[in-house]
Amino acid sequence: MLVFGATVVGLTLIWRLEYEKEFQLEVSNATKVGEFGWRIPIPPITEFPFQVLSDSNDTPSRSSLKLYENNTELGPAHSVHSDISNSGSGAFSHWGNWLYFSSSDNSDPRANRFHYTASVQYGLNKTAIISLAFVIILAGALSVFFPYFKDARRKASDLRISVFYLISRKILKRLIQPAISDRMFWCAFGVIFLTGFGVRIYWMWALGLPYIVPDSLSYILPALENPYLPFGEARTAGVPYLASIGLAMMAHPIGFTMMYTALWAVSTVAIVVVCFSVLNLRVLALILLAYLCFIQKNMALEFTILSEHAARTMYLFSISIMLLSIRRISILVGVCLGLAAFFNIMIKPSAMAFLPLIVIWYGLAWFFFSRHSARRVMVSAGVCLSVIATLMVLYMSAFDKRYNSFAISHFDGLNLYAQVGHLTVLDTGIYPEIKSELEEFLPLYVEKYADQRKYAWNWLIYGATNEEMKADFGDRSPVKSVIEYVGHQSMKETNIILGELAVEGIKQNPIKYLDLVAYTFHQLAFIGFSFNYADFFSEKSLDYHREQSVEMYRWFLEDTGWNDTPLRQHVRSGLEKNMGGVAEGELPVGFSYVSEFIYWSTYYLGRLAETLVKVGIGILAIGFLLTLYGLATRRLRISAQHIRVENSIWGANKMLVISVLLAGLCAFGYCLALSLYSVSDPVRFLANVQDVYILTSICLLASLTYPLKRIAVLIGAKTRITGNNVGENV
């Protein structure tokens, strides 16, 4: 009855559990249907056990898909296909794995330069839920009504243990223990790494310039105006410093990309060497190397003037330092780790979430390795935190001298308001003059957009709108109301006011805020987990790159009113000699072949990475259940003493367990911290720690094979194990 009741409750909770996913539609290969209709395949959105429901003959209005043209919703949905073909005007139908649609003005979607996206709700497969419930109830019934089949149960247990032992020892062992020699490993390492490096060199030559997006100028401008101390009110000094060095070295914008490629090379070599020398991995280390070399998302951000690539490489590099030096804690280690953490914070202030991990790392070093005295660990930790604190104070002092504010940036309040602007308290509280103006349009935003989970972060703090929002709000926005209240363009005062409004809204609506945090955490940790970012490495992206190149030339060649510093003059002279590549309208030889290589390598490595994540989670679940069963039946006892000794259930390589803890906490802590104050682009923002995700899965897969094998054998042998005789019984 207990099993039946728990199954019913669990089934009720997850039956109506639904998520929403937005995705881009590839309309360049659309097939014409009738006069105005078009048909394209729906890309794979989810995998089992999730499902997306579409319309059919029996359920013609079941699909939840919404279609957007330049962020304006089209419709009506569930239209008859003949109406779509003959009338068009935005009508569409989600039928099976196909989308039948028409543009709003009945133009050709392949040539009208409109941007088409869609969103759809998906949930757990109902058949899978019912099947799982049936299996659970059947298992519970068998355990209740047939307890006297002890001998059969013992044989089944022995069979399960034998199968698990075979899998863990014969298959997973080949991935974990040295299945290839050192010489073979380094040969494979050289081939993969040099191929990845060659692809990057080719792409630099082919493009001639890095990609830019609307945020790119905010990283370049501080480097141009203050090359020796490049930071602005919104951007900290990390990426502008890299830009300043790259531009000075090459006298060309491609110098920025070269700096990013150097970061990729250092961080990739560091983490793979750690996997080989410290974690004793071979095949899994080569898989990680291939992932870091060829995944399109990483390469797209590496060739774009944004901060995500620098942040992700610094997370990998910092974890490499931790794993390499955990056996040799010293003052020098503290200094190096402090410098790496500070530079990561300068790249993205969200790296503040990394500081608790440093404290945890020192605790793990003391707990797992008895050779470290408490005094040595505390001295090194004190040095590390002192380095970070000293450099932060110096930076904030420089910021105070330039902007009259002892802070890291003037963007924290704006960031927070972008997250919780819809929670603004309008009837009471601070700044009544601003709220009286917000009352005219903010409730409409809450009702039409925020309540539907269609958050418009850029509109809240930048005033940026699409056609639909322009029709609803005109040129009004919260940030414009604050600027009018201040009376002049002051980022400092705007940041303070919006920050105070955001904090007030959180205090007055804590439940809604926690719900928002849970939603954004899910969006970041799950929806953001992808292997492609934009459509950069294809011929279709070249037109966009040429248009943006004209804007980049203007930064350096035209009189924009910025300070004409020696660095800007230096880059101008370099550009006048060589503009280069695609920017001049040339299509390099071999472009399509390299694009195809990136596409297919991303596809196969992405599938492999997803498999590693799922297998790692599965092994973790099995280990958890086996451990609970062993502890509940008192066949297994675990104490802190035998966790610390080398000959324990963790196996010979305790570093794998530490790596799982460090990488897992790093990824989880980052996602949680970012969900508390800002998530506007999950796919882009998760890139900071997505490599850490993969590293966690690889180490999880490797580390849990040792204890699972031992726990399984211990439970199967029905031997009561205590701290000191674990190794003897195995």
Segment 306-330 mean pLDDT: 91
Higher-confidence residue of 144 and 480: namely: 480
| pLDDT tens for each residue of 109-133 | 888 878 888 888 877 665 555 666 6
Residue 698: what pLDDT?
86
- Which one, of 534, 551, 554, 547, lies nearest residue 582 by Cα? 547
Residue 196: what pLDDT?
93
Segment 11-34 mean pLDDT: 72
Q: How many CB atoms lie within 10 A of CB 59?
A: 11
* Domain assignments of the chain as residue spans, ordered by start: 2-130, 426-508
Three-state SS for 386-421 is HHHHHHHHHHHHHHHHHHCCCCCCCCHHHHHHHHHH
| Contact call for residues 720 and 634 (beta carbons, < 8 A) | yes
Residue 371: what pLDDT?
66
Residue 241: what pLDDT?
93
What is the Cα 594 distance to its own chain's centre?
A: 25
Residue 730: what pLDDT?
30
Return d(Cα 650, Cα 364) in angstroms, integer: 15
> Strands 116-124, 50-51: parallel, antiparallel or unpaired by DSSP?
antiparallel
Give 400's pLDDT tier (boundaries 50, 70, 90): very high
- Give yes or no for residue 723 having a pLDDT over 60: no
Residue 151: what pLDDT?
47
> Strands 116-124, 37-41: parallel, antiparallel or unpaired by DSSP?
unpaired
Residue 729: what pLDDT?
30
| Number of residues written out for the chain | 730
Question: Which of 159-173, 264-278, 702-716 is least confident?
Answer: 159-173
Beta-bridged to residue 24, according to DSSP, are 117
Tokens of 310: 């620098």
Question: Which of 315-324, 334-343, 447-456, 539-548 is least confident?
Answer: 539-548
- Give yes or no for residue 157 having a pLDDT over 50: no
DSSP 454: -
Give 370's pLDDT tier (boundaries 50, 70, 90): low
Higher-confidence residue of 591 and 687: namely: 687
Tokens of 209: 């310039």
Tokens of 152: 């059969």
Segment 544-555 mean pLDDT: 79
- Give yes or no for residue 308 having a pLDDT over 70: yes
- Give yes or no for residue 378 having a pLDDT over 60: yes
Residue 289: what pLDDT?
94
Segment 665-689 mean pLDDT: 86
Return d(Cα 237, Cα 476) in angstroms, integer: 32
Segment 236-255 mean pLDDT: 91
- Which one, of 20, 212, 211, 215, lies nearest residue 117 by Cα? 20
Question: Which of 199-213, 553-567, 574-588 is least confident?
Answer: 574-588
Residue 641: what pLDDT?
46
Segment 581-591 mean pLDDT: 64
- Give yes or no for residue 646 having a pLDDT over 70: no
Segment 338-346 mean pLDDT: 94
Give 274's pLDDT tier (boundaries 50, 70, 90): very high
Segment 128-150 mean pLDDT: 54
| pLDDT tens for each residue of 91-115 | 999 988 889 999 988 888 888 878 8
Question: What's the angle, vertex CA 447, arms to CA 445 and CA 451, rounded to 5?
Answer: 100
Return d(Cα 259, Cα 245) in angstroms, integer: 8
Give 199's pLDDT tier (boundaries 50, 70, 90): very high
- Which one, of 501, 523, 524, 415, lies nearest residue 462 by Cα? 415
- Give yes or no for residue 87 having a pLDDT over 60: yes
Segment 62-81 mean pLDDT: 87
| Contact call for residues 69 and 114 (beta carbons, < 8 A) | yes
Higher-confidence residue of 123 and 435: namely: 435
660 three-class SS: helix
| pLDDT tens for each residue of 504-536 | 999 999 999 999 998 888 888 887 888 888 777
Question: What's the angle, vertex CA 471, arms to CA 685 and CA 105, rounded to 5?
Answer: 90
Residue ranges in 40-170 assigned as alpha helix (H): 81-86, 126-145, 150-166
The chain-wide mean pLDDT, for the chain, equals 79
Give 267's pLDDT tier (boundaries 50, 70, 90): very high
Segment 153-157 mean pLDDT: 45
Segment 17-35 mean pLDDT: 78
Residue 328: what pLDDT?
82
Give percent above pLDDT 90 in the chain: 24
| pLDDT tens for each residue of 4-19 | 555 555 555 555 556 6
Question: Which of 60-69, 173-182, 295-304, 662-671 is least confident?
Answer: 173-182
Give 372's pLDDT tier (boundaries 50, 70, 90): low
Tokens of 14: 């997850």
Residue 256: what pLDDT?
92
Question: Which of 402-411, 429-438, 715-724 is least confident?
Answer: 715-724
User: To which residue do tokens 């300070």 refer?
Assistant: 563
Helix, strand, coil percentages for the chain (3-state, nearest 5):
65, 5, 30
- Which one, of 117, 101, 125, 133, lies nearest residue 53 by Cα? 125
- Which one, of 265, 270, 232, 263, lies nearest residue 246 by Cα? 263
Higher-confidence residue of 309 and 177: namely: 309
